[in-house]
């Protein structure tokens, strides 16, 4: 049954009260940014959050766009367990796409939609300090060898000071998943992992991961097999069973880090469905997959 318009607004009231003044980290994946219309809808929702007293922080991805740019430059994109193998030239391209292009576009769109965006990455205020990941061990024809995945980073520390400053002044921070090491080198980090670390460091109320599927599916080919709630203790099991694969692995890992460190709940939702974030946050019926601690009640507050 369709709710009357006034009822939809009233249904939102307890959620708005609960979320007032809280920080929400929203990760927008490259696959959720499928069209400029979808992107605009996502940004309008983020600006709306700000106007109802929530403090949104955007972390963006852009994997598909980095791959496209690499291919146009005659370079093959290669991945190791979902992480892009990042040589010097790939790092250059990743910075160009993430910081130079996607970040700027999101900040500009926030302005057009009536908000105040500010673009940041790990170099700003040394916000995301990390180190290069160690070479990975693989077995080829029974022989163990090492694969260097290049400038792929791991977060060591998040310095959230700069984020608190901009949030307190009414800005919406937009963060590219680039970290900096002790020598000032740029590092490429998966955006889901950065979003989880940032949510943890900010003690955010929620982490929202927007992608191109409506959350976790038990069978990736069957949309009916949707899983609406996952507790922390189930995640490793779902990965080991092969139910969670590819790009979903860092999402669940990012969600787990956030929830282990005090974020109430993480939600994986389909960003390519218009205004999915508003439906997830302000209506009684959630639409994605919620990740939480076992002891949390089943509601979505």
Ligand X SMILES: Nc1ncnc2c1ncn2[C@@H]1O[C@H](COP(=O)(O)OP(=O)(O)O)[C@@H](O)[C@H]1O
Ligand Y SMILES: CC(=O)N[C@@H](CCC(=O)OP(=O)(O)O)C(=O)O
126 is in an annotated binding site: no
Q: Smallest distance from the beta carbon of 67 to ligand Y, in angstroms?
A: 7
Q: Smallest distance from the beta carbon of 59 to ligand X, in angstroms?
A: 11
Q: Smallest distance from the beta carbon of 66 to ligand X, in angstroms?
A: 11
First vs last C-alpha separation in the chain: 23
Q: Which is nearer to ligand Y, 67 or 282 (CB)?
A: 67
Q: Smallest distance from the beta carbon of 181 to ligand Y, in angstroms?
A: 14
Q: Which is nearer to ligand Y, 172 or 209 (CB)?
A: 209
Residue 252 contact among ligand Y, ligand X, none, beta carbon within 5 to 8 Å by kind? none
Residue 255 contact among ligand X, ligand Y, none, beta carbon within 5 to 8 Å by kind? none
What is the 8-class DSSP label of residue 225?
G
For 82, the token pair is 């979902």
Residue 62 contact among ligand Y, ligand X, none, beta carbon within 5 to 8 Å by kind? ligand Y
Q: 56, 62 in Cβ contact below 8 A?
A: no
* Burial (CB count <10 Å: 0-12, 13-18, 19+), residue 35: exposed
Consecutive H or E run containing 60? strand 55-60
Residues that bind ligand Y (CB under 6 A): 29-31, 61-63, 66, 83-84, 94, 152, 177, 188-191, 247
- The H-assigned helical ranges of the chain are 5-19, 36-51, 63-72, 88-95, 104-112, 161-168, 191-201, 232-240, 248-260, 276-282
Displacement of CA 156 from its chain's centroid (Å): 18
**Under DSSP, is residue 69 helix (H, G, I), strand (E, B) or coil?**
helix
Residue 176 contact among ligand Y, ligand X, none, beta carbon within 5 to 8 Å by kind? none
Q: Smallest distance from the beta carbon of 227 to ligand Y, in angstroms?
A: 21
Q: In what order do the strands lie in the sheet with 206-211?
A: 117-121, 172-176, 55-60, 23-28, 206-211, 265-270, 289-292, 229-231
246 is in an annotated binding site: no
Cα distances (angstroms) measured from residue 265 to each of 116, 125, 150, 161: 26, 28, 33, 23
63 is in an annotated binding site: yes
Pairing of strands 178-180, 186-188: antiparallel
CA distance 35 to 74: 25
Residues that bind ligand X (CB under 6 A): 29-32, 61, 63, 211-213, 216-217, 220, 243-248
Q: Which is nearer to ligand Y, 103 or 188 (CB)?
A: 188
Q: Smallest distance from the beta carbon of 251 to ligand X, in angstroms?
A: 6
Q: Which is nearer to ligand X, 166 or 272 (CB)?
A: 272
Residue 217 contact among ligand X, ligand Y, none, beta carbon within 5 to 8 Å by kind? ligand X
Residue 177 contact among ligand X, ligand Y, none, beta carbon within 5 to 8 Å by kind? ligand Y
188 is in an annotated binding site: yes
CA distance 200 to 263: 6
Q: Which is nearer to ligand Y, 11 or 212 (CB)?
A: 212
Residue set of the binding site for substrate: 62-63, 84, 188
Binding-site entries = 62-63, 84, 188
């Amino acid at each position: 049954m369709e709710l009357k318009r006034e009822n939809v607004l009233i249904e939102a009231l307890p959620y708005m009260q609960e979320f007032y003044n809280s920080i929400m980290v929203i990760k927008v994946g490259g696959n959720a940014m499928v069209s400029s219309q979808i992107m605009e809808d996502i940004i309008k929702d983020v600006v709306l959050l700000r106007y109802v007293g929530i403090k949104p922080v955007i972390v963006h991805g852009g994997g598909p766009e980095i791959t496209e740019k690499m291919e146009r430059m005659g370079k093959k994109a290669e991945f190791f367990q979902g992480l892009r193998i990042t040589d010097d030239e790939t790092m250059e391209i990743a910075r160009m796409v993430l910081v130079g292009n996607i970040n700027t576009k999101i900040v500009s769109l926030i302005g057009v939609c009536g908000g105040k965006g500010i673009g940041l990455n790990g170099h700003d205020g040394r916000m995301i300090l990390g180190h290069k990941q160690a070479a990975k061990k693989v077995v080829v024809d029974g022989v163990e060898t090492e694969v260097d995945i290049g400038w792929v980073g791991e977060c060591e520390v998040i310095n959230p000071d700069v984020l608190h400053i901009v949030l307190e002044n009414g800005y919406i921070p937009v963060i590219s998943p680039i970290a900096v090491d002790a020598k000032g080198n740029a590092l490429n980090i998966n955006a889901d992992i950065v979003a989880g670390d940032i949510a943890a460091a900010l003690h955010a109320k929620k982490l929202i991961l927007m992608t191109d599927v409506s959350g976790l599916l038990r069978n990736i080919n069957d949309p009916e097999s949707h899983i609406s709630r996952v507790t922390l203790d189930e995640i490793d099991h779902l990965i080991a069973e092969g139910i969670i694969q590819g790009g979903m692995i860092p999402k669940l890992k990012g969600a787990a880090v956030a929830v282990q460190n005090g974020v109430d709940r993480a939600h994986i939702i389909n960003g390519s469905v218009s205004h999915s974030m508003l439906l997830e946050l302000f209506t009684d019926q959630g639409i994605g997959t919620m990740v939480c601690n076992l002891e949390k009640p089943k509601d979505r507050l």
